[in-house]
Every structure is written in C-alpha cells, then in structure tokens.
Amino acid sequence: MKYKMIAIDMDGTLLNDNKEVSQNNKSAIKRASELGVKIVVCTGRIFTSARFYASLIETPAPIVASNGAYIREKDENRIIYKKAIDKDLLYKLVDIIQSFGIYPHLYTTEKIYTKKLINFSSNYDKWNRMVPENERVKIVIVKDFKETIENEEILKVALATDDIEKLNILRQKICNEFSLSIVSSYYNNLEIMTEGVSKGNAVKILAENFKINRDEVICIGDNENDISMIEYAGLGVAMGNATESLKSVSDYVTDTNERDGVAKVINKFIIEC
C-alpha cells in the first residue's frame, strides 16, 4: 500500500516528554514530505500553540486544532473548517461545569478565557514564557463568561480536576443532557466540542480535499481523543506509550514518543517501502 497522508498527534506522539520534536522525527517527516506525502498536525491544542510546533517540522502541514473544531493552513490565513459551540448550549454547559466547582476554559482560535489561571491556562502561561511574543497564546481572565460567550466563537471547552469520581459524574451528566463531542487527552481532563467534531472527522475532511482514500491515510496518536482518527485511518498507529483503549483499536503499535515512534512508523511504511 502506498500511503499518501499522515496525520500526527502532538503531545505524547510527535513531541517527546520535554515538548520537543526530535531530529529523527523531523528528518523522517521531511523525507516523507519530499516523497509527496501530505503531513497533517492533529491536536487538541489551541491553533496558536499548534502552529508553533508545526513550524518546527518545516513542512507545509495543514493544522487540525481543538480536536478537529478548527482546520487551517499553517503558512497562510486560509480556514478549511471551523465549528463553534452553539451559544445557548454553551451557557448551560458552563453553568453545569461551574456547579461542580470546576473551572472551565473556553477556547477560540487564539485565546483562552478562564476565571482562574489553573491547569490548562497555567500550562500555557508557563509555555508563553519560553516562546517569542508573537507565538504566545492569549489568556484572558474574566469575572464571568457572559460577555465572552456573546462576543466570541467558542470552539472548545476544556476542564480538569484530580477528583476523578467527580469528573466521571460530570461527564455522564453532560452526556445525558447535551449532544456534544466529549473526549479526554489525559486521565484528569475533559475536552468538549460541538456534536460531530473530532480528529477523525477533520482527517476525513482533509483527505477528501486532497482526493486521498482513507486506506491511503496513516494516523498516529496516544490518547482517547485520537481514537476517532485511528479508527478512520487505513493504518491506525498507537504509540508505545498510548493508552490501552487506543492500542485496542489500532492496527499497529510503534515505539514511544521518547524513542522516535513517529519516525519509526514513517521509515517502515513510507521510506523503506
């Protein structure tokens, strides 16, 4: 099989534990791109952050951000797909999350709105200190979300808590009361998008745009929010450090993100074929 497109998750997949792209991964991706393979960066991260890391691989990769709610070209301001959460629904969703004593984070394409610098926003705040000013994620602290919801298109709501029992109860309540797409990128978080939004749907949109069949697509990931694209792909690849739930639906398990698992997939199925 000649594969024509590779969709790659970022955290725990393309990036090592120090949030770096290894030279081996860079070289393999560059070689695949030179062979005509479309490279897609596919992440739950906000677009601004995703674009910074996508620039490190030095290929004209379109970016799937916010778990598929936003697809845009890396090097030009061309939006391929954008799907915001309905405002009436968003008011109710935020109220429920806050009733559990949890701080929601509301994502636009470039900004994160929150009431407190905690978990997601705290991590981005630390990240901002390490990157150039024009690459930083804009974090906005608000007293309430009314004005934000009225004036912004919210692509994703993210929340985290180490009270896993509370998290599971909240997830079930949201599932029971709303038709939304809910995934997790780590054991203690939830990431919520509008119904139908997923990495898998985003990869499908790009494949159709490129006129590439799904059996010509490789998807590589490590966590629950990658399952939809792993199931869509002709070759769904789990990282060696992936969750068991992801490994169980994958076609192949590569090495870990600390041992150039992405490069090893590209070498095996693209370069050495």
Question: Is the model's pLDDT at 1 over the cut of 90?
Answer: no
What is the predicted pLDDT for the residue at 144?
A: 94
Average per-residue pLDDT for the chain: 96
Q: What percent of the chain has pLDDT over 70?
A: 100
Q: What is the mean pLDDT of residues 260-273?
A: 96
Structure tokens at 25: 């991964």
- What's the Rg (C-alpha) of the chain? 18
Q: What is the mean pLDDT of residues 110-119?
A: 96
Whether 255 and 240 have beta carbons less than 8 Å apart is answered as yes
pLDDT in tens, 224-260: 999 999 999 999 999 999 999 999 999 999 999 999 9
Question: Is the model's pLDDT at 209 over the cut of 90?
Answer: yes
CATH topology of domain 5-82+198-271: Rossmann fold (3.40.50)
For the question of whether the overall pTM of this predicted structure is more than 0.85, the answer is yes
Comparing CA positions, the residue from 138, 128, 127 lying closest to residue 105 is: 138
Q: What is the mean pLDDT of residues 137-157?
A: 97
Rounded Cα–Cα distance for residues 113 and 16 (Å)? 28
Rounded Cα–Cα distance for residues 88 and 160 (Å)? 23
pLDDT in tens, 159-170: 999 999 999 999
pLDDT band at 154 (very low <50, low <70, confident <90, very high): very high
> What are the E-state strand segments in 110-186?
111-114, 138-141, 156-160, 180-183
pLDDT in tens, 58-104: 888 899 999 999 999 988 889 999 999 999 999 999 999 999 999 99
pLDDT in tens, 17-68: 999 999 999 999 999 999 999 999 999 999 999 999 888 888 888 999 999 9
Q: Helix, strand, or coil here: 88?
A: helix
Structure tokens at 41: 């960066």
Domain chopping of the chain, boundaries: 5-82+198-271, 87-194
Please state which of the ranges 4-13, 57-66, 82-91, 137-146 shows the lowest mean pLDDT: 57-66
Rounded Cα–Cα distance for residues 80 and 77 (Å)? 10
What is the predicted pLDDT for the residue at 59?
A: 80
What is the predicted pLDDT for the residue at 76?
A: 80
Contacts of residues 123-131 at CB distance under 8 Å and 24 or more positions apart, as own/partner, are 124/46, 124/49, 127/19, 127/49, 131/52
CATH topology of domain 87-194: 3.30.1240
